[in-house]
Structure 1
Amino acid sequence: MKRLLFSLLILLCCTGIFAQRITNNAYTLLKPDRVFDGRQMHNGWWVLVKGNLIEAAGEPGSITAPASAKIVDLKGLTLLPGFIEGHSHLFLHPYNEVSWNDQVMTESRAERTARAVVHARETLMAGFTTVRDLGTEGAGYDDAGLKSAIKKGIIPGPRMLVATRAIVATGSYGPKSEVAELALIKGGEEADGLEGITHAVRSQIGHGADVIKLYADYGWGINGNAPTFTEEELKTAVEVAKSSGRTVAVHSGTTEGMRRSIMAGVTTIEHGDGGTPELFKLMKEKGIALCPTLSATEAIASYAGWKKGVDADPARVKQKHYIFTEALKAGVTICMGGDVGVFPHGDNSREMILMVDYGMKPLDVLRSSTSINAEVFGLKNLGSIKVGYLADIVVVSGDPVEDMKTVKQVKLVMKDGMIYKEL
């Protein structure tokens, strides 16, 4: 125990030291075999970092590094922008360890925050330098505090876009009890009507929300999943959120829930299991992106006993294959986001691998994981290897265009010009 505490102390102290170092104008020259700039792969490129910014990127002959520059030889490796996780829950851990209900009801806020600190570090070490965290699921506004601690250099972790409590219709969300009079912690903030929705959105913004998350449907219908908010309620949420410059993410797994969300003009639809060719065409026309969360679907099926590659695909997995294929056909913008927390943090890249397995081109998956997520989420100076952009960089073995599994072989992680993991 003493050794563990000592190691943690050293880790935190080192993090603080690194955070101070990025304030100077030190140079680092990274020399990989190839560079993915957020759009295209370039063989033979180098990248020069000055302080926390990208100073130059391109052919070696175009880059002039000072004699004082730290040289990092990355022979045989690929350099990319730091990956951006599009759908994360740092305050959750896999449901086969502890069910969602029990995490919300029986794990203290202190325990959940302690877990989130560990999850943040695991995420960063996996090459994900930014996450969009879509709800604390009963842990209040603690994600805003976690974001602040990371930003101050108190703990290592990715940049965070936080949704705080998320917004649900009264009576729709869990946890629930057969004892109607029992007051339980809820996994989201309940709100109803145009006035109630307006208040909830503004309150969450006031408590630190960067993105507004709503549940357009949930499993509260007589026959399962059913819509929750009306189209007008969703439109109100979008209007209030977007007037402050914030994006809106909507959980939706039904056709009607998706239709209402699309008509309301949300930014992204999460899951999208009720998608149809007609709805995906409409999403394309309105510029609404899909975050398909393939990994969560497969993880939940595996917790129910499904053995991938051995058993026949269950209906929910077949449906995910269908909607993903139809979204690609329609040209819908695809965000990379796995709903990590349902499965282990640090294994975020399994979503990238599944996106290829489900039919997306590897180069498009890399774009979704970097520049496209940055664009959809409104992240400035991130997601690309460009002069003047923040030096968020990941280096992996081999060439992910040839084999996406190489994204699991992370050799170097830099965030804001600071190296957290290196050869």
Structure 2
Amino acid sequence: MLQNKKVQLLFFIALVFSIKLTQAQTLLVPDRVFDGMEMHENWVIYVVDNQIEYAGEASKFRVPNEAAKIDLKGMTLMPGLIEGHSHLLLHPYNETEWNDQVLKESPVERAIRGSVAAKASLLAGITSMRDLGAEGAGYTDVYLKKTIDDGIIPGPRLKVAGPAIVATGAYGPKGFHDGVTVPLGAEPVSGIDDAIKAVRRQLGNGASFIKVYADYRWGKGEPSNPTFLQEELNVMVATAKSAGRYVVAHASTPEGMRRAILAGVETIEHGDGGTLEVFKLMKEKGVAFCPTITAGHAIERYKGWRPNINPDPERITKKKKSIQLALEAGVDIIFGGDVGVFAHGENYRELELMVEYGISPIAALQAATLVNAQLLHFENLGQLKKGFLADIIAVKGNPIKDITKMREIEFVMKDGIIL
């Protein structure tokens, strides 16, 4: 009996040892490494299964015999990018207007489009993504996330907002008489009780966080105005926090932004009309800013604007000013372009515009990696550091010297798997 137990123990030890030996081991040898904070020369990254085991100077690392070495000559290795504001269930408005996407494209069609968009994003180096609302497709984003998590389709790690929440009467599509039932782009609520129920319902149905529209256009062609009362915003944030989640706010007017900040949201999306006073309040309250530069830039181009040829439209002028004010106030800035308004996979456009509008290249890359990981709750991501998950990309050249190099993604690894 004792002999049998010894045999079983030896077999178990041998099995564990053999499993250890068969772990995937990869040594990545680029020209340089951006670790999420700064650039390094003569560094290597060693990955075992889906985790980084070493990130540092090549001369201080002894390469295991079992490691598969991948030379990335001429390239910069960096953490996988984290997209902060996406809509996988939308596609560019110059293909199909937003109203027609919501009214005429079924959730099934939009899910298929979303799966294509997820793959395009991943191959463009976006290994993680915050999706800011299904825009009329219910909880399709929740199920898109599930199919990626289950390995059914390729795509980034997702955090999703579900339907998002708007004030009754404030969101579209609009323009129909009161006898027509129109599918809306978000869930409408009014009053404290209704707001609490909506937050709990969305979280219960799988939303990773709650998105609210703190301001919007009440009528066609009108400027945006606040939508929710302070008390309504307060209670939605409190309800989400009690469930261990958080709230983000679409807001572009000073008052809409102010109410959302005071309510305790974690990020302000868009923020075109933000004043220095509002941005200072954001800094004081620890609220981050996702300017979504590329969406407005794309929309103006769809209208016929030619950058660097025509004068800047008002939308562009306001966006540039808002970023300068945010920088002056010292607000944390998130990388997130509102992709879906423009083509999925072209996320690099946001980085290029961030730099064009006054953000340094290294700060833009930090926003897309370390900063977004910390602010958007992506744990063990955003840095090339021992113990972190192996979401790693490589680009040609040095993107700190030339941010357009972010268009040239040559290598993508997600969760230790090379794509």
TM-score bracket for the superposition, by shorter chain length: over 0.9
* Among candidates 35, 38, 54, match of residue 37 of structure 1: 35
Equivalent residue letter for 2:31: D
Deviation at 1:206, TM superposition (A): 0.7
Deviation at 1:142, TM superposition (A): 0.8
Cα distance between partner residues in 2 of 1:320 and 1:178: 32
* Residue number in structure 1 paired with 2:12: none
* Residue number in structure 2 paired with 1:113: 111
SS at structure 2 position matched to 1:224 = coil
Structure 2: segments with no counterpart, 5+ residues: 1-18
Cα distance between partner residues in 2 of 1:99 and 1:383: 34
Is residue 51 from structure 1 mapped to residue 42 from structure 2 by the alignment?
no
* Residue number in structure 2 paired with 1:128: 126
User: How many corresponding residue pairs?
Assistant: 399
Cα distance between partner residues in 1 of 2:371 and 2:260: 21
Mapped contact 1:335–1:369 kept (Cα < 8 A): yes
1:217-296 matches, cutoff 5 A: 217-220=215-218, 223-296=222-295
Structure 1: segments with no counterpart, 5+ residues: 1-20
Deviation at 1:192, TM superposition (A): 1.5
Aligned-residue sequence identity (percent) comes to 53
Equivalent residue letter for 1:287: G
Mapped contact 1:270–1:293 kept (Cα < 8 A): yes
SS at structure 2 position matched to 1:129 = strand
Deviation at 1:24, TM superposition (A): 6.1
Equivalent residue letter for 1:267: E
* Among candidates 192, 195, 203, match of residue 194 of structure 1: 192
Moved over 6 A (4+): none
Cα distance between partner residues in 1 of 2:334 and 2:175: 35
Is residue 65 from structure 1 mapped to residue 60 from structure 2 by the alignment?
no
* Residue number in structure 2 paired with 1:338: 337
Cα distance between partner residues in 1 of 2:177 and 2:303: 27
Deviation at 1:397, TM superposition (A): 0.6
Supply the RMSD in Å over aligned alpha carbons.
Answer: 1.3
* Residue number in structure 2 paired with 1:326: 325
SS at structure 1 position matched to 2:206 = coil
* Residue number in structure 1 paired with 2:142: 144
TM superposition score normalised by structure 1: 0.93
Cα distance between partner residues in 2 of 1:287 and 1:130: 23
Cα distance between partner residues in 2 of 1:84 and 1:64: 31
Deviation at 1:178, TM superposition (A): 3.2
* Residue number in structure 1 paired with 2:413: 414
Bigger Rg, which one:
2
* Residue number in structure 1 paired with 2:180: 182
Equivalent residue letter for 2:385: K
TM superposition score normalised by structure 2: 0.93
Deviation at 1:243, TM superposition (A): 2.0
Deviation at 1:191, TM superposition (A): 1.2
Mapped contact 1:138–1:188 kept (Cα < 8 A): yes
Deviation at 1:221, TM superposition (A): 5.3
Mapped contact 1:27–1:65 kept (Cα < 8 A): no
Deviation at 1:379, TM superposition (A): 1.4
Deviation at 1:175, TM superposition (A): 0.8
* Residue number in structure 2 paired with 1:393: 392
Is residue 356 from structure 1 mapped to residue 346 from structure 2 by the alignment?
no
Cα distance between partner residues in 2 of 1:242 and 1:255: 24
Mapped contact 1:132–1:161 kept (Cα < 8 A): yes
Moved more, 216-225 or 254-263: 216-225
Deviation at 1:62, TM superposition (A): 2.2
1:275-329 deviations in Å (ceiling 9; x for gaps): 0000111111111000000000100111111111111100010000000111011
Is residue 157 from structure 1 mapped to residue 155 from structure 2 by the alignment?
yes
Deviation at 1:64, TM superposition (A): 2.5
Equivalent residue letter for 2:80: G
